[in-house]
Amino acid sequence: MNAYALLACAIALEVAATSLLKASDGMSRLWPTVGALLGYSVCFWLLALVMKTIPTGIAYAIWSGVGIVLISLIGLFVFKQKLDLAAVVGIGLICAGVLVINLFSRSSAH
C-alpha cells in the first residue's frame, strides 16, 4: 500500500483514538478507553510502517499537523470547545507548514 495512504490511515486512527480518549472521561469509562488504546496501538504501528518509506521528520510533521487540525475541529464541533483567535492563527500556521513540506520540500519525496 502507498505510504501516504498508510499515513492517512494512521492519522485517522490517531484522531479517532484521541476523540475516544476525551470521551473516556479520564479513562474512567471502559469502552472508550479500550477503543483509544487500540486506536493508538494500530496508529503507531502504521506510523512505524510509514517511516520505512517517508523520512521520519516529514512523516511526523504531517501526522501531527493534520492530527492537530482535525482534533481541533472535532473539539470545536463535537465537544463544543471554543477556539480563540490565537488558536485559529496557530492552526492556520500548522496547515501552512504541512503544505510547504508537501509542496516545496524535496525531503518529502521518496
Say how far residue 1 (Cα) sits from the centre of its chain: 19
Q: Which residues contact 108 (CB under 8 A, 6 or more apart)?
A: 54, 55, 58, 101, 102
Q: Please give the radius of gyration of the chain, using alpha carbons only, rounded to the nearest integer.
A: 15
Total-model pTM: 0.87
Query: What is the percent of the chain with per-residue pLDDT over 70, rounded to a whole number?
Result: 97
Read off the DSSP letter of residue 100: H
Whether residue 110 is predicted with pLDDT greater than 60 in this model: the reply is no
pLDDT at 36: 98
User: With contact defined as beta carbons under 8 Å apart, do 11 and 63 qualify?
Assistant: yes
Residue 76, amino acid: L
What digits encode the pLDDT tens for the residues 81-104? 999 999 999 999 999 998 898 888
